Amino acid sequence: MYARPDVTRAVAAPLRNARGAILPMIAFLVVIVLILTLSIFQFSWQDQSLVYDERCREQALFLAEAGLALGESWLGAQNPPPEGAGLVYPFGEDADVLASGTYTVSILPDSTTLDSARRIYTVASTGIVDGHERWLEVDVAMGPISLFLYLTNTEHMPGLGNPLWFCTWDVIDGPMFTNDQISIHGDPQFLDVVASAYGGPEDNNQNHNASFLYHNGDDHNNIESTLGSNSPHDNPLFAEGFQLGVSEIEYPVHPDLNGLKSMAQSGGVFVSGTYEVELSRINEETGLPMYGYVSYRKNDNWTDVEISSLTEPVLYVNGALSVSGVLDGFISIVSSGSMYITDDVIYRDSGPDGPSPDCDDLLGLIAGTDINISNSVPNQSDVVVHAAMVSVNNCFRIENWASGDPRGYLRFYGSMAQDFRGPVGTGYWDGEEFILETGYMKDYHYDPRLFEIAPPGLMEFFQGGFAARLNWREVTPSPPA
């Protein structure tokens, strides 16, 4: 007789054994879940910390940029610019509080440029938010407007909206800057740096985009472009590159002449009316040039002044004037109204190719309105001008530029700043040859000495000159000492 198996015991035994194995497994899984939960919490906390750190770094960068802008603005307003070689704190050495952090601004002059017309300064700004630091630097060049062969506020004639074009026969061998758009017709050559503020940060016209205006053939289908050429119609040469949409240079206004007026009244020559000015005029008794002298007259009688005797070498005419002659010296001639060049105005130490490398003569011609090449008898066959010229409320132009016979070449050596572009003549192309109909052919050249020196009072005239940004960089701060 067989005994019946105890099924209950047979099933219960493995279940007890299974429970014994499951309990440690559950405990293990609970631990794993707990670890994962803690890890997720830890990662979440770290993510929040990273986000916070990054937000602080961004805010510190904004503060540093704000300080940089304030520092550049302060520097551009200095008249004269800082002259010493030491570190300058324009807002004090203590940090300034802004929003949720602080910023500190310092300015360091480049000691190698303090004796030059073009001075370099490094503006540094540090922004700090909750221990997170960002440090920015920018190099800024300051100097008078004579640093440019061309500096123009508006690229068209006074009262007209049509632009004046840089054309195939134009060769610009010095730095060029305009607050307006550069218009190109054909193949002009720009041999130095070129910059335009059209469409830049201070241009309040929303329809202006940083660009060139190309003539684009003879169908009057002008086009705008950011490219350096518009083949096959317009192929300019930019030997040193170009910049579009840069910050404007604040062009001077008539009250800025007051500084030159004060210089003339305190140690130069100040007169009112309409005057004729001549440099190194011929002495009636000797028949020889009076080198080193500037002479002026309102009626018949000349007044002769030795330039070296002036403590402030500025001749200021409160009115209009005409000028000609040979300069042997260092002087600025200023008119509150119009100025007329009636014959060559050249340096004594010069030749057919302009001022000699060692020339120590330098002339500023500064007019409150316009500077004109007179339609005079001596100017009917070429005219030569050596000067740093500024037309404040108008332009440099040719008298009767669109009438009469061709007058040859206008050979200019120096720098030219004008509120508007002025015309010099008319003509047309006959195949590969340009035919001059009226006025002059341009032969303009930069006087490289103007990179180092400026005519008397010109830095003061333009309120210490301009401030142009050269280089921007972020610097890794040095650890605290």
Per-range mean pLDDT, top range of 137-141, 229-233, 248-252, 465-469: 229-233
- Per-residue model confidence (pLDDT) at position 118: 80
Average pLDDT, the chain: 87
Instruction: Report CA-CA distances (Å) from 224 to 106, 137, 453.
Output: 40, 34, 37
pLDDT at 449 over 70: yes
Q: Are 323 and 315 in contact (CB under 8 A)?
A: no
Q: Token pair of 157, please?
A: 């004639």
Q: Where are the domains of the chain?
A: 10-144+466-481, 146-179+249-463
Tell which phi-psi region holds residue 194, choosing left (phi > 0), alpha (psi between -120 and 50) or beta. beta
For residue range 277-324, list pLDDT tens digits in order.
999 999 999 999 999 999 999 998 999 999 999 999 999 999 999 999
Per-range mean pLDDT, top range of 97-111, 212-226, 243-257, 393-407: 393-407
Whole-angstrom Cα distance, residue 189 to residue 236? 6
CB-based contacts of 164, cutoff 8 Å, min separation 6: 155, 156, 157, 183, 421, 423
- Per-residue model confidence (pLDDT) at position 140: 85
CB-based contacts of 161, cutoff 8 Å, min separation 6: none
Out of 27-36, 305-314, 448-457, least confident range: 27-36
Q: What is the DSSP letter of 257?
A: G
Average pLDDT (77-82) is 76
Higher pLDDT, 70 or 432: 70
Out of 41-50, 196-205, 263-272, 318-327, least confident range: 41-50
Whole-angstrom Cα distance, residue 126 to residue 135? 4
For residue range 88-140, list pLDDT tens digits in order.
999 999 999 988 899 999 999 998 888 888 888 999 999 999 999 999 999 88
Higher pLDDT, 367 or 5: 367
Of the pLDDT bands very low, low, confident and very high (cuts 50, 70, 90), residue 8 is: very low
Average pLDDT (322-349) is 98
Beta-strand pair 189-190/303-306: unpaired
Single out the residue of 457, 459, 50, 24 nearest to residue 264, CA to CA.
457
Q: What angle do CA 69, 74, 75 make, to 5 degrees?
A: 100
Work out the burial of residue 75: count CB atoms within 10 Å of its CB; fewer than 13 is exposed, 13-18 middle, 19 or more buried.
Answer: buried
Of the pLDDT bands very low, low, confident and very high (cuts 50, 70, 90), residue 39 is: low
Q: Are 124 and 167 in contact (CB under 8 A)?
A: no
Work out the burial of residue 410: count CB atoms within 10 Å of its CB; fewer than 13 is exposed, 13-18 middle, 19 or more buried.
Answer: buried
- Per-residue model confidence (pLDDT) at position 291: 98
Within 10 Å of residue 100's Cβ, how many Cβ atoms?
A: 12
Count Cβ neighbours within 10 Å for each residue of 267-290 and write b for 16 or more, e otherwise.
Answer: ebbbbeeebbbbbbbeeeeeeebb
